[in-house]
Amino acid sequence: MKQQKRENPKPFTPVKGEVYENVAGGKFLCESGWEDEYKRPCGWMINTKTGWSLTAVCIVRYEDGTIEWDYSNGEGFLPIDDRRQQLIDRAIQREIDRKVTRAAMKAKQNSLLNAMLCCLI
């Protein structure tokens, strides 16, 4: 499978309670985000499917919203308890709502553009 080329990575500090998709397609709940002593963005991330947790170091975010990091440490499994599952579900629903809103706005813009073009013809 050909991997999509991602452009313009920017340093990114994740926000606690948000779920992010990495470039490989995994979804990670951020338990905390910070900059280390070298001003590198870091995050304590938990894979929403497996419960695998890690500290991601040198996190970047691409224009398509996906993230990746240079390396990780402090790995291990954590149980996905009810509280974490609720956070995951809420964060995923917020992302779905954002995508629906963006799609609706784009459709409205396209409709307005088409109306304007019809008036010009």
> Per the domain annotation, does 4 fall within a domain?
no
- Amino acid 80: pLDDT: 67
Q: Which domain holds residue 43?
A: 10-120
CA distance 33 to 48: 17
Indicate whether 15 belongs to any domain: yes
Q: How many domains, the chain?
A: 1
Q: How far apart are CA 100 and CA 94, in angstroms?
A: 10
Residue 102 domain-assigned?
Answer: yes
Q: How many residues does the chain have?
A: 121
Residues 47-69 pLDDT 10s? 988 888 999 999 999 999 999 99
Sheet strands (E) in the chain: 10-11, 19-21, 27-35, 41-47, 52-61, 67-77
pTM of the predicted model, to two decimals?
Answer: 0.67
For the stretch 6-23, pLDDT in tens is 888 999 999 999 999 999
Q: Is residue 3 part of a domain?
A: no
54 vs 86, which has greater pLDDT?
Answer: 54
